[in-house]
Amino acid sequence: MNLLITGGAGFIGSHVVRLFVESYPTYNIFNLDALTYAGNLQNLRDVESRPNYTFLKGDITDASFLEQLFAEHRFDAVVHLAAESHVDRSIAGPMAFVQTNVMGTVNLLEACRRAWAGDYAGKLFYHVSTDEVYGSLGENGLFTEQTPYDPRSPYSASKAASDHFIRAWHHTYGLPVKLSNCSNNYGPNHFPEKLIPLAIHNIKEGRPVPVYGKGENVRDWLYVLDHARAIDAIFHRGKVGETYNVGGVNEWRNLDLIELLCDVMDENLGREPGESRKLITFVKDRAGHDARYAIDSSKLMKELGWKPSVTFEQGLKKTVDWYLANGAWLEEVTSGHYQQYYARQYGER
């Protein structure tokens, strides 16, 4: 199996690449990543010399490059994670999201359609998406696979568009596809612009911890390795043409989550109980901030037997331990030095 994983230098992608490289030694795993600000090859240091792993630097917005790549490597399957992924960045500059998430995805679909030329035996395109495509919930209810799409940010609109294109290529051209829509992830290697790693970093440094609005927005958090395990299960055992929701059954108000994180950090750093909570600072709310996301993953649980392997308290502790033990990683990322790793490792610019 020649398996192409896109976006493998990013947060979730790096965990998926590691899981597949370690679990499937007979697969040839190719990690295609443009190494934007969010791509960090240091995330994969431990697997980069494995014989079944190859890194390919390249941009999915470049259709002719993709065509050449498919001709060269004859991929049997794609797990597509490459994306612009940060909602705040999508509000500041939406076009990059349209380019990568929409055009890049369609380029990949076309590359598969041309390369596989109607012979779909043993072929698969697996698209990794987000629960944000479903919009925002009130106080009750859960997103199911049947919830109508109602994206509200440029990020979620671009992911919703990409999901529609995936299904269109399945229905129109017969391309074998699978999709999953997952809730918010947290864990090691998360870029420190996102809520949990940003808060860990600022608490550690004794800097203000920004919380949007009154901190009342609710998110359903899943440990990133459990998302990677879900992708593995769906890739191998999910039904072609189907969508699976992935979530942690773990809803938290942002403020409650940050307070818990402050307490875990106090304990880890030997601070007085309550000391880090003093750093919490309320800031102007994000434009169009969705109130609540919560996901029903019962289809995935019942059909494929998946369930989260850690509780939130366990996962958060593992995450804090990882960030405190990997100060050098955080330092490289916050200083921007990680962007030189590719040149150092692969001798190119």
Ligand X SMILES: NC(=O)c1ccc[n+]([C@@H]2O[C@H](COP(=O)([O-])OP(=O)(O)OC[C@H]3O[C@@H](n4cnc5c(N)ncnc54)[C@H](O)[C@@H]3O)[C@@H](O)[C@H]2O)c1
The residues of the shown chain that bind ligand X, judged by CB under 6 A, are 6-7, 9-13, 33-36, 38-39, 59-61, 81-85, 100, 104, 128-130, 159, 182, 184-185, 191
**Angstrom distance (rounded) from CA 274 to CA 276:** 6
Measured from the CB atom, is 11 or 329 closer to ligand X? 11
155 is catalytic: yes
Cβ at position 224, least distance to ligand X in Å: 8
Nearer to ligand X, 97 or 279 (CB): 97
Verify whether residue 263 is a known catalytic residue.
no
CB of 36 to ligand X, least distance (A): 4
- Measured from the CB atom, the residue of 9 and 115 that comes closer to ligand X is 9
CB of 267 to ligand X, least distance (A): 26
Which residue of the chain is nearest ligand X when measured via CB?
10
Taking the least distance from each CB to ligand X, the nearer of 83 and 320 is 83
130 vs 276, beta carbon nearer ligand X:
130
Nearer to ligand X, 33 or 232 (CB): 33
* 132 counts as catalytic: yes
Among the options 132, 251, 259, 296, which is catalytic?
132
> Per the residue annotation, which of 134, 155, 186, 342 is the catalytic one?
155
Name the active-site residue from 131, 145, 259, 290. Answer: 131
Nearest approach in angstroms of CB 249 to ligand X is 15
Q: How far is the CB of 292 from ligand X (least distance, A)?
A: 15
The distance of closest approach from Cβ of residue 84 to ligand X in the complex, given in angstroms and rounded to an integer, is 6
* Contact (Cβ atoms closer than 8 angstroms) between residue 180 and residue 246: yes
> Which residues form the catalytic set?
131-132, 155
